[in-house]
Amino acid sequence: MRVTAEAKNATRNQILNVAQKQFAQRGFEATTTRDIARAANIGVGTLFNYFPTKESIVDWLVGDACRQAAEAFSAESNNGGQSDAPPSDSATQIARPASLEEDLFSHIAATMRKLKPYRKYLPAALETSLSPLALDQPDGKPSLRATHLETVSRIMSQHGQHEALSAIALQLYWTLYTGVLAFWAKDSSPKQEDTLALLDQSLAMFVGWLSDSNHSKSASTAPKYTSGDER
């Protein structure tokens, strides 16, 4: 009997919902694919057709959350960025434009809000789909890293940074971003407030470094490097 796309989606969603409950109840490490299959009333073989490992379930959940955040950001950008913009300053009645640091913070914070249900098992995704070594996905879709960095590049461009970020800058940014996510996954501070401070200070350092690098570049006669260049 042919399984319709609708039925496939329903089964996939059922697996995802059940898996989240299992992870919450037992913890990610203790949960097995057999546990998930049993709770979803499907065979292990059926489960494997959708998700070969429990890590791939996390990848899907995280990937979906990141995509939703990126789509929301894209939609806001097309609407003139009104939703996340700071309210007007009543003294001037003019909406104050956000800085690059603020926009990057806003994007990452929005992503983290979507990722919040999966925070405790984020480390699994940090070793796979969020890893610096992650390749494009088997279905040809770009990696989460590529998608996120595309959004970052768009934000940079909106703030006048039209040149492509160097390979070093991209790697530095990704290291900071995934470092913050890794910290957040284990953050036991009340309401994970330490992560907010870390994100704030990390972005301040990155943007400051970028600004300094750009000043040096404009003064320097040395050749410029872009992603893909070999030294």
Partner 1 sequence: MPSVAELIAALPEPAEMPEVAREAPMSPLLEAWSQRPVPVGRFRRLRMLGTLQAQIAAAYTFYWLRGWFKGADENKRLLAETNWRTAMRVLDSMSYLRGAVMKVGQTLANFPDVAPREFVETFEQLHFDAPPMHWSLLKEMVFNELADDPENVFASFENRAFAAASLGQVHAARLKSGEQVAVKIQYPGIARTIRQDIRNLMALMLPARLSRDWENAKEQLDDLRIRLERETDYERETAALQKCRALFREDDGIVVPQVFPEFSTGRVLTMERLGGVHLEEFLATNPSQELRNEFAKKILRSWYRMLFAGRVLYVDFHPGNFLFMDDGRLGVIDFGFMLEMDDTLWELMRKVDRPLTTGRRDDRLAAMKEWSWIGDDPADADRLRLSDEYADWSWRARYCGGPFDFGDEADFRRGVDLFTQMVRKRYTRSRPCTPSIARQLFGFRSILYRLKAKIDVAPIAEEEVRAAGWDRSDYAPPR
Interacting residue ranges for partner 1, rule: CB under 8 A: 84, 86-91, 96, 98-99, 101-103, 105-106, 109, 113, 189-194, 196-197, 200-201, 204-205, 208
Look up residue 102 and give its two tokens: 């603020």
Name the residue nearer to partner 1 (CB basis): 157 or 189: 189
Q: How far is the CB of 129 from partner 1 (least distance, A)?
A: 24
Based on CB atoms, which residue is closest to partner 1, 201 or 226? Answer: 201
Q: Which residue lies nearer to partner 1 by CB, 25 or 171?
A: 171
Give whichever of 27 and 86 is closer to partner 1, judged by the CB atom.
86
Nearest approach, Cβ of residue 177 and partner 1 (Å): 15
The CB-of-45 to partner 1 minimum distance in angstroms stands at 43
Q: In terms of CB distance, is 128 or 158 closer to partner 1?
A: 158
Min CB(73)–partner 1 separation in Å? 12
As measured in angstroms, the least distance from the Cβ of 201 to partner 1 is: 6
Q: CA 163, CA 153: separation in Å to the nearest integer? A: 9
Cβ atoms of 72 and 120 within 8 Å: the answer is no
